Structures are given as structure tokens and as C-alpha cells.
A and B are shown apart, each in its own frame.
Chain A
Amino acid sequence: MSPDAIKRIVLPGLGLVVVLVLWTVISQAVAPDLPSPARTWTESRRYVLEPFFKDGEMNQGIGRLAFYSLVRVAKGYALALLIGTPIGFLLGLSRSFHASFDPIVQFLRPISPLAWLPLGLVIFQKSEPAAIFTIALCAMWPTVINTAVGVRSISQEYLNVGRVLKLSRFKMLTKIIVPASLPYVFTGYRLSLGLAWLVIVAAEMLTGTPGVGGFLWQEYNSLVYSHIILSVVTIGAIGLLLDRLMGLVEARVKAG
């Protein structure tokens, strides 16, 4: 076996085995309520092997639940980009806009989704728009900040080209400012997607909407602990997949 194959397959496999062993030990010796890996698998098998079955609103295959969550995240994330990108460009382009709104951005940024969600429920009176509102509000900050930084770090040489050519404001934006800041913007998009996925669980837990997060909380209340682990693993796997996909898109953009 080549050293490369050892690095790529054997070592990550070893890491997984260590985690499974630790998990088994903890479930046997420390926390008897925690299902062992084997029990988790037996109790979750149907959800994984028939990922799209539907017995009721809250009893569905994991693929179906993940799909609901992904659709919700997609909506919130789209809203985050739609609002966050122009704000980022304005912050980067205009000194007075920056002076007016940067303090507010810095103030809102660290607020947890758990704080936004009740406010969303108050504003929208319904759980679905409240969840999307929360995702958008929490996920947009990396896009806002990276876009602003991207605009500010455009090399003076590029801007001088536009000044010498006396490009119109619109051409300056479309031909120079947007393409020059695009790598930063996409870094923001990738980080925002990670956050959006992070928020979905909290939003679904609090609103009880069907999805991976809602399922997790319901199964906790029904004392089916193995399904909590199933949800956690699903959330992790999808999060990783989303990050990798966005990483590919980002690399594409950076390569020009």
C-alpha cells in the first residue's frame, strides 16, 4: 500500500475506530442511557436504508427530513446573501455608510439564533417564516463582512485603471469592483452557508417544524436516544458535504 493511500484511507479509518470504541465504552460504563453504536444502528436502520419513507409528520426517513431542513436552509441562506451582499458592498464602498452602519453590524453579529427566533415568532406569528428569518439574520454576517473587506482591499492599481479610463459608476462596479472582490465575497458565502446549517437545528428545535433538528428534539422527548445520534451524524455529514461543495465553488471563483 502506498504512503498516500495510508494517509487517505487507513489513518482516517483508524480515527473513526477510536471514536467508536470510546463511544461504546462511555455507553457501557459511564452513561447507560446513551445507546451503543450497535444499538444506534439497529434502531436507526430503517431511517437510513429507506431514507424517504413517511409514516407521519414527525416519523419519516432521514433523507426526507434532511430534505426539509435543506429547503429551509436554502431559503434562509438565499435571503442572507440577497441582503448581506449589497450591505457588504455599501460598507466597503461608502465611508458614510460604513460610519453609520458598521457599529450596528458589529453589535448584531454576535447575537445567537436562540435570541432571534422568539423575535421572529413575534414578528411573523408563524414558525416557518420565523425559522427562515432567524437563519438569514444569523448567516448573513460573514457575507457582509467579507464583502466589505474584499471591496476595501481592491488594489489601487485596478482602481486607477478605471479612473484613467473615466469609467462610469456602473462600469466601475461591474468591470472592476465586483470581479476584484469576488474571491472575498465567496469566502463569505462559504462561511455563511456553514452558519445557516448551524442555525437550522436550533430553529427547528424551537419551532418544532419537521426536519432533522425538529426530529432530534422530538425523539429526545420520546426517549428514543439512538435517533438523536442518528440526527447528529446526519447533520454533521450534510454540513461537511455543503462545506466541501462551497469550497469547490470558491476555488473555481478564485482561479478566475
Chain B
Amino acid sequence: MSYLEVRGLEKSYVARGRTTHVLGGVDLTVDEGEFVAVVGYSGSGKTTLVSLIAGLIAPDGGTIVLDGARVTEPGPERGIVFQQYSLLPWMTVYDNVALAVDAVNSGKRPAERRRLTDELIALVNLTPARDKRPRELSGGMRQRVAVARGLGMAPKLLLMDEPFSALDALTRATLQDELTRIWGERRCTVILITNDVDEAILLADRIYPMTPGPGAQLGAPIEVGLPRPRSRRHMSLTPAYQKARQALVDFLRSRRGAA
């Protein structure tokens, strides 16, 4: 059995008497220490999938098992980096990260927790902005805080829901590079949800393409055969990159035609 096993996940929403079938039986596995990406069009149900794995909403059918335990409610062992607007605006960078660190390290001494928090802030290169509030930060800096907070939960699985989609292209590229570096240092298990094929190939070991909704499903995963550390400059010229990209784009295009 894999570290994370998602089987036959179903979810529909009912609004004003109309039922929207969002997920129609999603299967997904992730091994420990693996970086998996889920790529799909906007509105295909990616955020619903993340909310289900996080335990924030309950599925209509199917199971989620992480490290042998059934997921039934939210918890810090499944840390999340939300899309945006999730930093608490009345807290400084430090306090936002400390909220997560303190929540999962209540047994540790305050000095130790402070050290852990400062370490995370340094990891995402925000030490100079440590005492600033979110509104004083750029969008890229805010998402770095969100990443530090997600890691601060010391999660078994880190869920990232389009963490860079609201950023401009240059900032997004910088943060993607930082994320490869951070993942290289921490080696945590990650599911990255994205609509950016190149982002998925740069970061992930395996990529699941998602069919457009309603009743979205995941296609067969595509292995990214690129060696690490990866560099975006050389990556695009390699056959492994082109093969992965072609497979993803073919899948997504063919399914869109059907929808």
C-alpha cells in the first residue's frame, strides 16, 4: 500500500436544487517523499480534490488513507499552502508561521519553537520581513510565508493548491526555483495542484493529468524522467522534458475536446 492512497473519490455539490458532479471517482497514490503534481484546467475540481484530502470537506464516496490512517477531518499532518488570501492579516510574518509551529510543537519549549519558526522564515528568505504584516508584502513574499507556514506544520503530506497562480510570471519562476531548492533540503511528500504544465514538469516526480469536469477523473500518471537538481534553462531542451510535456498536453487536449 502506498503512503497516500486515494480510491474512488466522489464529490457533488448541491446549490439551489441543482447538483454539480465535480469529482467522478478519483484514484491517486503518492509514495513517501515523492513530489506529485495534478495538472488540469481551471474549474475542473482541483481545489475540491485538495479540500477532500485535507479533510476540510467530506467526500460522497471513496476513501483517503494517509500512512495507514483514514482521513476524516482536517489536521496539521496534511499541511496546506492555499492559493492566496489565507495569511492572517492581523499577524506579522513571524506570528503567522509561529501559529503553525506552536500548534504542532506544543510539547516543545518556547525557545525551541522560536528557533524552528525563525529557521523556516530564513528557509524562505524572509528574515528581513520577519516583523511585517501581510499587507506590507508583495504577492510573492506572501506566498513564501504561506509555504513556511505549511512546512511549519511538519506535515506528512504537504498540499499545495495552485500556490503561485496569482503571481506574475517572473515572480512565479523565482518561487518555483525556490521550491525546488526547499524540497531538495526538506524532502517532504508533496501534492502540487497546478494548471501550469511546465511548473509541474519542473517540480514533480510524477504528474497526474485531470480530465475537465463535470465528474472529473485523473488519467494515468506520467513519470518525469528528468534528473535532479533540475534547471529550467536546460530542461526544456531535453528529450525527457519534451516527452512528458507531449504526453500531458495530448491528454489534456483530447479530453477537452470531449467535454
Binding site for B on A (CB under 8 A): 155, 157-158, 160-161, 163-167, 171, 175-176, 179-180, 182, 256
- B74 sits at the interface (CB 8 A): yes
Instruction: Given A180-B90, A256-B89, check contact A166 B75 (CB 8 Å).
Output: yes
- B88 sits at the interface (CB 8 A): yes
Instruction: Given A157-B85, A165-B99, check contact A179 B90 (CB 8 Å).
Output: yes
Extra 4 A-B pairs, beta carbons < 8 Å, given A164-B78, A165-B99, A256-B90: A160-B86, A180-B88, A256-B133, A256-B135
A interface secondary structure, majority:
helix
Residues in A whose Cβ lies below 8 Å from that of B78: 164
- B213 sits at the interface (CB 8 A): no
**B86 near A161: Cβ-Cβ < 8 Å:** yes
- B54 sits at the interface (CB 8 A): yes
**B90 near A164: Cβ-Cβ < 8 Å:** no
Q: How many A-B residue pairs have CB under 8 A?
A: 52
Task: Give the number of chain B interface residues (Cβ < 8 Å).
Answer: 22
| Nearest Cβ on chain B to A25's Cβ, whole angstroms | 53
**A164 near B74: Cβ-Cβ < 8 Å:** yes
| Nearest Cβ on chain A to B101's Cβ, whole angstroms | 10
Question: Which of B79, B85, B86 is packed against the most chain A CB atoms within 10 Å?
Answer: B86
* Residue interface mask B93-107, A partner, CB < 8 A = 1: 000000110011000
Binding site for A on B (CB under 8 A): 54, 56, 74-76, 78-80, 82, 85-86, 88-91, 99-100, 103-104, 133, 135, 153
Residues in B whose Cβ lies below 8 Å from that of A179: 88, 90-91
| Nearest Cβ on chain B to A237's Cβ, whole angstroms | 35
**A164 near B89: Cβ-Cβ < 8 Å:** no
Residues in B whose Cβ lies below 8 Å from that of A161: 82, 86, 88, 99
**Chain A, Cβ-Cβ closest to B150:** A164
